[in-house]
Structure 1
Amino acid sequence: MAGADSRREALARLPVAEALPALHTALTERGTAVLHAPPGTGKTTLVPLSLAGLLDGSPARSVLVAEPRRMAARSAARRMAWLLGEEPGGRVGFTVRGEREVSGRTRVEVVTTGVLLQRLQRDPELPGVDVVLIDECHERHLDADAAVAFLVDVRSVLRPELRLLVASATQDGKAWAGLLAAQEDGPETPVVHGGGAGHRVEVRHRPPPRGVRPPHGMRVDPALLRHVAATVRESLESVPEGDVLCFLPGAAEIGRVARLLEEGQGLPAEVLRLHGRAPASTQDAVLRGRAPGDGGPRRVILSTSVAESSLTVPGVRAVVDAGLAREPRTDHARGLGSLTTVRVSQAGAAQRAGRAGREAPGVVFRCWAEGEDAARPRWPSPEIAVADLTGFALQAACWGAPGAGGLALLDAPPPGAMAAAGDVLAAVGAVDEAGQPTERGRRMARMGVHPRLARALLDGSARVGGELASEVVALLSEEPPREYGDDVAEALRAARRGRDAYGARWRGEARRLRAACASVGEAPAAASSPRRGGAEGVGLVVALAHPERVAAHRGDGAYLMASGTRARCADASGLHGAPWLAVATADRPAGSASARVRLAAVLDEETAREAAAALRTVRQEVRWDEGRGCVIAREVVSLGAVEVEERPLSAPGSERVRAAVLEGLREQGPGVLKWTREAESLRQRMAFLHRVLGAPWPSVSDDALLERADEWLGDATTRAEFARIDAGRVLAGLLPWAAGDAARLEELAPERVEVPSGSRVRIDYSGEQPVLAAKLQELFGWREAPRLAGGRVPLLVHLLSPAGRPAAVTADLASFWQDGYRSVRAELRGRYPKHPWPEDPADAEATRHTNRRLQGRS
C-alpha cells in the first residue's frame, strides 16, 4: 500500500500532467505535435503512459518512445514500470542494443534512436505502433534527426494515422513545429508547453583562478579540475542537505575529480561516477536516488552530459557545472574522427542548472565568470554539422534518399561531409556509382554498427571466423578503457578475461554481432582462403574496417598511413617498431602535424596488402628527383600513399625523360646554370632593351628563359650538367640575330662608356635606369652624357668623390656643373686637397690623377 501511495504521489507531482489534455487533442486533430517541457516535469514518463491509456480511461494505444542513449532508455522504462507497480517487461518494456525486456503485454516500449532506425529500415510501417515519441530532440543527435525525417516520410506516404510527438526540454519547439508543418503541408503543428520550470535555482559563479588554460582538443587544464573539486566541497558546506550533481566533460575528468575529492581530508559524502561506461549497478544506484533526511550519507554524483536532460537524478539540491562538454569533430581530409572539448552552450547550462531545482529550491555553482554567460554559444552544435556522416548516409540511401535529398531535416548535412561519406560507402561496397544501396549495403545497414565495422564483420568472418571477427568488431564499436592499452590484440585478451563493466558490454555486443552476421546471410567473400587467428587475424579485421589507415613504419615511432596521414605511437607504446599497423583509432591533437595512434593492431605486409587491396595502385613514374639531382624512372606499387615496391624502368621514353628534365630545371630555376659576371651583365642589358624597346629584344626573366629551355638545354639531364651550361652562351643565342638587331647591342646598350678622362667605365643596368658611376674629376668638360636605346633613355650619372663615395647624382651634367658643383666643391675640396677642384669644371681638363701627378706630367 505504501508503494502504491508513493507512486500516486510521484505522479501527482509531475507538472506535465496539466498539459496532457492539450497534447491528446493536438495528436488527435493534427497527428503531430511538439512538446516543450523542462527536465523533471514528466515528459519522458508520464506522457507515454498517458498516451498508451495506462493511467485513465483513454483508448489503449501502443507507444514507442525513442531516447538518445541506452542508459536513458533503461532508466525511463524502469521508472514508468515502477509508476505502474511493475518490473520492465510487462506493460512497459525496453529494447537497447544487446538487451531487450518486452512481452506480449507491452504497451509502452522504450528504445534508443538507433534501434528505432533499424526497425524503420526493416519495416517502415511500424506495424502495431500507434504513437512514436522522439524524446530529447534538443540534443540534436544525428540518429534522432534522421528518425524524425523518416517518420515524416512514413506519415506522408504509408501511415498518415501514425501519431508523431517530438519532445524537447528547451525553447526550440517552434523550429521543430515549422519543420513538421512545412513537410506535411498541413495546418500548423501545435507546440504544447508542459508544466512549470521547477523550483527556484540560485546561480553562484565561481570563476577559476587566473592562469587556467582553456581546453585544447581533449585536454582539460588540471588546475580547472582542482577548482571544480574545491567547488564541490564548497557546495557540500553551503547547501546543508541533498546531493550534489557535478557536470564534467568526460570519464577521464570524472576520474581525476573523484580522486581529488577522495584525497586529503576525505569527504562527508559518497562519490559516484555516472557516464556511459559506468557499470549498470552504479547507474541504477544513482538513478534510484536517496531521499534527504533518510539517514544515509549524502552523495556527490560526477556525471557527463548524460544527466543534463534525458535522466532524472533524484535527491539533488546543488549542481556544480565545470562549464565544458564534448562534441564530435571529423577531419574529412585525413579520415580521422575524435571528440573535442568545448564550452557548454547556454541551453546546456540552463539544463544543468535546472537539475538543482527538480524537487526543491536549489543552487548551481558555475565554474566560470558571470560575464562569460552571454559569450557562450546559444545551442550545442547539431551532430549533423560536425560528425562523421557515413552511417547516416547509408541510412539515407537505404531509405531511398541518397545524399539525404528531400529529408525533413532542421539542418542540411554539409556537402563535403556527405561526399566523404559517399566515398567510404563506395569503397566498402555499400553503394553503387549512382549512390544507390547495394544488397550488401542493405545488409550492412541492418547490423547496427558503423558501415566500416559492418564491412569488417562480413568480410572478416570469412577470413578469420565469425567468432574472432565479432569479438574484434565489438571491441572497435566501443573503444576499450585506457588501461587495456593501445594494442588491439592485448585489449582483446583483457576484455576476454575482464569482469568489469566494459567486459560485460563487450561480451554482449560480440554475441549480438555473431547473431546479426548470421541473420543477414552474407555469402563468404573468400571462403577458399585459409582462415587466420591470433594477432594476425585481429590485425586483418581492423585493417578491413579501416584500410586507409594501414600504416607503414617510417622510423622512430612514426608511421605513414595509406591515406597520406602521418601518425605516431605514444612513447611508451608496445607497438613501437612494428613494420606495419592497422590503426583503429587515432586523433590529431590541436597544433600537431601528425595524428596520435590510440588503438592499433600489428600487421605483416602480406595482410596489409590483402586488406587494402582496393587502394593498390601501380604507376610508372619518370620525374625529377631533387634529392638526387637527376631524373629517376621507376614503376611503383602503392597502397594509397604507402609505397610497397619499386623497380627501375628500362625504357622510360625520351619524351618523358625530357619532360622530367625540364620539370627539374623549372624547380631549380636558371640560377643553376654557370653565371659569369659577363653573363649577368649581358642579361641586364638585354632586359633593359626588352623593357624600353620591346620586340625583337626578348624577355630574359626566369620564366622566359625556362619557356625557351628546349632551345638551349641540349643533352643535359643532371644538376651537374646544368651547372656546366654557360649562361652567357644561352643569352647570346637568344639575341635577335634573325632581325639583324643583335649587331646593334653595343650601340643601344653598351657595356662600357668612355668618359673624358679616357677611362672606359662599366654601365650598371641592374636598376630601372642605367647608371654610370665615375669619379667627378674624370668627367670635367663633359657637358652631356650619352643617351641609350637610340637616344630614348639618359644615363643616370653617379658622381663619386676621390674616395669612390657618392657625391652627387644627376641626369643633366650641364645643369650640375652650373648649379650643383659649387656646393660639392666647397664640401670636398678641403677633404681632398690633392685632387683638382677647378672653378669652371665644364671647361676643365678631365683627369684620373692627383694634382702632384698632373704637375709631374706637365
Structure 2
Amino acid sequence: MHFFDLARIGSGLVVSQHRDEIEGALAAGAVVVTAPPGTGKTTFVPPLVANALPQGRILVTQPRRVAVRAAARRIAQLDGSALGGPSGFTVRGERVVSDETRIETVTPGVLLRRLLNDPGLEDVAAVILDEVHERSVDGDLLLGLLGEVRALRDDLVLVAMSATLDADPLARMIGAPIVRIPSVLHPLDVAYAPSATPRIGPRGVERAFLDHVADLTVREQAGSGHDALVFVPSARDVDEVVRRIRSSASGVEALPRHGRLPAADQDRATSGRVPGEPPRIVVSTALAESSLTVPGVRLVIDAGLSREVRRDQARDMSGLVTVSASRASADQRAGRAARQGPGRAVRAYTEAEFAAFRAASDPEILSADLVDVALTLAEWGTPAGAGLELLTPPPAASMARAHDVLRALELVDGSGRPTPLGTRVARMPVGAREGRALVAAEADPRTAAEVVAAMAGDFREPGADLDALLRALRRGDAPGVGRWRNDVKRLARIAGGTAGPSPSAGTVAALARPDWIARRVADGSRSYLLASGTRAALPEGSSLAGSEWIAVAEVQRAEGRVADGTGAVIRLAAALAEADALEIGHVRAERVAWLEDGRVRVREERRLGSIVLSSTPAKATGDDAKAALLAHIREHGIPWGEGAARLRARLQMIHREIGAPWPDVSDEALLESLDEWLAPHVTGSSLASIDTTVALRGLLPWPEASRLDALAPERLDVPSGSSARIDYPAERDGRPVVAVKLQEVFGLAETPRLVDGRVPVQFHLLSPARRPLAVTEDLSSFWNGPYQDVRKEMRGRYPRHPWPEDPWTAPATAKTTKRMREG
C-alpha cells in the first residue's frame, strides 16, 4: 500500500501546519476544512487522508476538468510518481488511473454518475469535495447524496473543503467539526485602473474594454517583470486578450487557460515556468480563482466579470451570461498575486464599482435548468429531492418544470420514477436531453454520436447551422475537433446498437429538445416560433433561413436587430423535415376558448406545442365558457365585487396574524388554486355571473369560520351608540381603519383591538363635515394631548357642535349641541 511523504508534499504549505488538527477531526467521520486559496489544501489534504485511511481509494472532486488534471498532476509530481500511479484522475472522456491509484481526482459529474452505478461506493474510503463554496448544482447535489450514503456506511469519511464558504451551515448539515486555516498573505497592493469605455454592452464584453485589459496587462507586467494572471469572463474573451497581448508585447509568453483547450495546453498554463524561460502572462476564466495555484504569479489583472447561469423563466431558457463578479470572487482573484510573495492586483474598474458588487454569488441551483438534476434525483430514489437534505432546496416551480420535461422525454413516469429509458440515460456521461436523443435516434450510432457531441460540446457556427458545423468538424478544420472526435467515439460506444440509417442532424436535435422544434413565422422571415411558445431569430445571413421547420439546439436572450424583435437569437439549429417535426413533436388536437368583447369564442386547433397547424371556428359549450372565463381571470385578475373585496380583506388580516387554518387569500395564492375554489362557481357565460363572495366563503375553515365576525367584524360599536364600518386594508401590512366623527368617541380610552387583541384599530377622527382631523391608534394619548389643539381650531369653525374642555367626561354623541339639549 502506497504512503505519501507528507513532509515533502507539505513543505512550505500553510495547511501542513494544521496536520494534527485535520487528522484528529477525521475521527468524527466528516470534517469541513476552510482555507483560502494558496494555503495548499488541494495538494496536501488528499495525501493526508490517504495515509490516515490506508485501505480504499480516496475520491477528490474539483469543479472543472482543468482543475482535475492540474491537481492530480501536482500531487503526482510532489510524490515523485507518474500520473496514473498513486495519483490519477477521471474526467469525461479521459481516465488515467491504475490498480496502484490511491487518490483519484474527478469532476462532480463523474462522481454523480458513479454514485448512480455504485450507490455504496464500496471500494472508496473517503470522498473529498473541494471548492464547495462555489455552490455548483452538482456540488450541492453530491453533498446531499453522500449524506445518505454515510447513513448506510459509517466508515465512509467525508471531507468538504472551501475557500470562502460560511462553514457553519455546512458543518451542521454533515455533522462535522470545522478546521479553520488562516490566510497567510504576503503584502498585497490593490490598485484601480478603469477603462474609459463600458465593460459590458448589448452583445457582451465590449471589444474596447478587452483592448484596455490587454494594454493594462502589458504595461503592468513590463513594470513589474513578474508573471501575471489575468481574469476575463469567457473562453472567447481569453483568446481575444491573448491575441492582443501577443501582438503588442515581446519578451513574454501569453498563455490561455480555459476549459475548451486541449489537455496539453491546459497543463502548460498551470505548470511552473522553467528558469531561463520568458515571463508568463496567463489569461484565464474564473476557473483560476480557487483551483490549484498558478506558480510564479505576483501580478493579477482583474476585469471584474464572470459568466454565470441565468434562467429566463418566461422563455424557458437557461444560459451563461456575463455579469459583474462578486466581491468575494474579486478578493480571491486579487489574493492570487500574494500567495508566493509580495504582489500587486490591478482592477480594471473603479473602486465604486467594486463596492457595488454582490457580496457573493448565489447558489447555482436557484437559477439553473434542473432537468439533469431532476433525472439524477429520480434515479437516486428521491424524486424532486423529497426527503433529501440540501444546503439550498431547489425552487419548486423549476423542479416541476423539469419533471414535465422528463415526462415529455419519456424518462420518468407520472409519479416521477425513472422509466427503463430514464435509468439508462441517467447513467450516461451526457445531459438528459442529449442522452435521450442518442438512445432514441434508433439509427447509426456514430452519426447520432456526432450530432450529440457537436450539440453538447459548446461549438459555434456563425450562421447557427448545425449541419454546416458538422461538415467542418468532419473535415477537421474547426476549433476543438480533437475533443469532438474523442467524444464521438465515446458516445457511439455508449449508444451501442447496430448500424442503421443515418439520422439527420435535425432529427437528433429534435429528439433532444422536442419543445424547441420551430416553424418559420412567415415566408422570408428569419424569426421562428418554438413549440415552447418562445420566438427567436436566426442570425442574419444564416443558411437555415429558407427552412420552414428547424430543430433548435441552443437559443439565447438577445435584443436589437440580431434578435429581429423576438428577444432571442438561435445559436445552433438544423433543418427538419415537416413529417419528422410532426412525428417527434406529438401533434395534438384541442379546443381553444377565450373571451372577446364579452363573448366566448372557440376554435378547434391542431397544435404542435404553441405552433398552430390548423384552426377552425366552433360553437361554444358550457365547458368552453368556463375555460374562457378562467383563462381571462388568470390573465386579467379576479373580478371582485365590493362585498367580496371586503370579505377578502378581512380574511387576509386573519391569515396574516393567525395563519393556518385560515386561508391565504393573496392574489398569488388564489390564482394558483383557481380551479379548486372558483371554478365550481363559474356556471354562466359572463364575468358578471360569477359570485366571488360565495366562492370565497367556501374557503372558510370549519369550525373556525364561526369566529369570523368576532375576529374581524364588519362594524365597530362606538360610545355614541352608533356603529362605524371597519375598512380593512388591501395591502398585507396595513391597519384596519374606522373613520368616525370625533364627538362620537368622547371618553373612549382603550383603543379597540381585533383578531383576539393582535391588531389595533386605527381611528380617523373626523370633523362635523367628515373631514379628517387626526389619525391615531392611541386614543388615550390623543385626548391628553393633541385634542386641545384640535379643539382650539375647530370650536370657532363648528360652534354648533360640542367641543368640551374635558373629553373624558363629555357624553359621546352624533348630535349638535342644540339637539343634545332638546333631547
TM-score where L is the length of structure 1: 0.69
CA–CA distance in structure 2, aligned partners of residues 406 and 104 of structure 1: 37
Conserved? CA contact 2:258–2:285, under 8 Å: yes
Shift of 1:623: 7.6
Q: Which amino acid aligns with 2:48?
A: S
Q: Secondary structure at the match of 1:378?
A: coil
The partner residue of 1:206 within 193, 199, 202 is: 193
Within the alignment, does 1:52 sit opposite 2:41 as a pair? no
CA–CA distance in structure 1, aligned partners of residues 89 and 242 of structure 2: 32
The partner residue of 1:286 within 269, 277, 301 is: 269
The partner residue of 1:433 within 414, 422, 439 is: 414
TM alignment of 1:809-828, pairs within 5 A: none
CA–CA distance in structure 2, aligned partners of residues 193 and 621 of structure 1: 62
**What residue number does 1:245 align with?**
229
Conserved? CA contact 1:567–1:594, under 8 Å: yes
Within the alignment, does 1:80 sit opposite 2:75 as a pair? yes
Over the residues paired in the alignment, what is the CA RMSD in angstroms? 3.1
CA–CA distance in structure 2, aligned partners of residues 623 and 46 of structure 1: 66
**What residue number does 2:96 align with?**
101
Within the alignment, does 1:164 sit opposite 2:158 as a pair? yes
**What residue number does 1:584 align with?**
553
Shift of 1:497: 2.3
Conserved? CA contact 1:18–1:195, under 8 Å: no
CA–CA distance in structure 1, aligned partners of residues 261 and 326 of structure 2: 25
**What residue number does 2:209 align with?**
224
Shift in CA distance, 571/403, structure 1 to aligned 2, threshold 3 Å: same
Shift in CA distance, 644/178, structure 1 to aligned 2, threshold 3 Å: same
Shift in CA distance, 707/398, structure 1 to aligned 2, threshold 3 Å: closer
CA–CA distance in structure 2, aligned partners of residues 605 and 544 of structure 1: 14
Shift in CA distance, 197/638, structure 1 to aligned 2, threshold 3 Å: same
CA–CA distance in structure 1, aligned partners of residues 452 and 12 of structure 2: 45
**What residue number does 2:22 align with?**
23
CA–CA distance in structure 2, aligned partners of residues 423 and 173 of structure 1: 35
**What 5-or-longer segments of structure 1 have no aligned partner?**
1-5, 182-188, 667-704, 710-858
**What residue number does 1:175 align with?**
169
**What residue number does 2:336 align with?**
355
CA–CA distance in structure 2, aligned partners of residues 356 and 224 of structure 1: 22
Conserved? CA contact 1:549–1:562, under 8 Å: yes
Shift in CA distance, 8/33, structure 1 to aligned 2, threshold 3 Å: closer
**What residue number does 2:472 align with?**
494
Conserved? CA contact 2:607–2:614, under 8 Å: yes
Q: Which amino acid aligns with 1:87?
A: A
Shift in CA distance, 133/549, structure 1 to aligned 2, threshold 3 Å: same
Q: Secondary structure at the match of 2:504?
A: helix
Q: Which amino acid aligns with 2:178?
A: V
The partner residue of 1:112 within 107, 113, 136 is: 107
CA–CA distance in structure 2, aligned partners of residues 36 and 121 of structure 1: 29
Superposed CA deviations along residues 22-81 of structure 1, whole A, max 9, x for unmatched, are 1111111x111001112222211221112112xxx8745521111111111111111111
Larger Rg: 1
CA–CA distance in structure 1, aligned partners of residues 352 and 624 of structure 2: 67
Superposed CA deviations along residues 817-839 of structure 1, whole A, max 9, x for unmatched, are xxxxxxxxxxxxxxxxxxxxxxx
Conserved? CA contact 1:326–1:341, under 8 Å: yes
Q: Secondary structure at the match of 1:290?
A: coil
Shift of 1:532: 4.5
**What residue number does 2:140 align with?**
145
**What 5-or-longer segments of structure 2 have no aligned partner?**
633-684, 690-823
Superposed CA deviations along residues 421-442 of structure 1, whole A, max 9, x for unmatched, are 1111111112111122222211
Shift of 1:153: 0.8
The partner residue of 2:32 within 25, 34, 47 is: 34
Within the alignment, does 1:544 sit opposite 2:527 as a pair? no
Conserved? CA contact 1:390–1:451, under 8 Å: yes
Superposed CA deviations along residues 489-523 of structure 1, whole A, max 9, x for unmatched, are 111122222266621111222222222233xx8xx
Shift of 1:593: 3.8
**What residue number does 2:362 align with?**
381
Q: Which amino acid aligns with 2:540?
A: D
**What residue number does 1:190 align with?**
177
CA–CA distance in structure 1, aligned partners of residues 359 and 418 of structure 2: 37
Q: Secondary structure at the match of 2:310?
A: strand
TM alignment of 1:615-634, pairs within 5 A: 616-620=587-591
TM alignment of 1:675-714, pairs within 5 A: none
Shift of 1:216: 5.0
Superposed CA deviations along residues 227-283 of structure 1, whole A, max 9, x for unmatched, are 21221022113212x2111000002222332333234x5443111111110122211
TM-score where L is the length of structure 2: 0.71
Shift in CA distance, 707/586, structure 1 to aligned 2, threshold 3 Å: closer
**What residue number does 1:609 align with?**
582
**What residue number does 2:482 align with?**
504
Q: Which amino acid aligns with 1:274?
A: R
**What residue number does 1:568 align with?**
537
Q: Which amino acid aligns with 2:86?
A: R
Conserved? CA contact 1:19–1:195, under 8 Å: no
**What residue number does 2:765 align with?**
none
Superposed CA deviations along residues 192-228 of structure 1, whole A, max 9, x for unmatched, are 123543322211111222xx33535761122322221
Conserved? CA contact 2:376–2:426, under 8 Å: yes
Superposed CA deviations along residues 705-729 of structure 1, whole A, max 9, x for unmatched, are 99999xxxxxxxxxxxxxxxxxxxx
Shift of 1:452: 1.1
Q: Secondary structure at the match of 2:391?
A: coil
TM alignment of 1:791-830, pairs within 5 A: none
Conserved? CA contact 1:17–1:195, under 8 Å: no
Conserved? CA contact 2:371–2:402, under 8 Å: yes
Q: Secondary structure at the match of 1:143?
A: helix
Conserved? CA contact 1:277–1:501, under 8 Å: no
Conserved? CA contact 1:217–1:340, under 8 Å: no
CA–CA distance in structure 1, aligned partners of residues 623 and 490 of structure 2: 58
Conserved? CA contact 2:32–2:160, under 8 Å: yes
Conserved? CA contact 1:216–1:590, under 8 Å: no
Shift of 1:471: 1.3
Conserved? CA contact 2:434–2:452, under 8 Å: yes
**What residue number does 1:334 align with?**
315
Shift of 1:110: 0.8
**What residue number does 1:469 align with?**
448
Q: Which amino acid aligns with 2:195?
A: P
Shift in CA distance, 361/602, structure 1 to aligned 2, threshold 3 Å: same
CA–CA distance in structure 2, aligned partners of residues 393 and 218 of structure 1: 32
CA–CA distance in structure 1, aligned partners of residues 620 and 65 of structure 2: 66
The partner residue of 1:122 within 107, 114, 117 is: 117
Q: Secondary structure at the match of 2:42?
A: coil
Sequence identity, in percent? 41
Q: Which amino acid aligns with 2:15?
A: V
**What residue number does 2:297 align with?**
316
CA–CA distance in structure 2, aligned partners of residues 66 and 216 of structure 1: 35
Number of residues paired by the alignment?
Answer: 625
Conserved? CA contact 1:278–1:501, under 8 Å: no
Q: Which amino acid aligns with 2:340?
A: E
Shift of 1:655: 6.6
Shift of 1:639: 0.5
CA–CA distance in structure 2, aligned partners of residues 707 and 194 of structure 1: 66
Q: Which amino acid aligns with 1:617?
A: R
Q: Which amino acid aligns with 2:172?
A: G
Shift of 1:444: 1.2
Conserved? CA contact 2:214–2:245, under 8 Å: yes
Shift in CA distance, 653/267, structure 1 to aligned 2, threshold 3 Å: same
CA–CA distance in structure 2, aligned partners of residues 270 and 37 of structure 1: 31
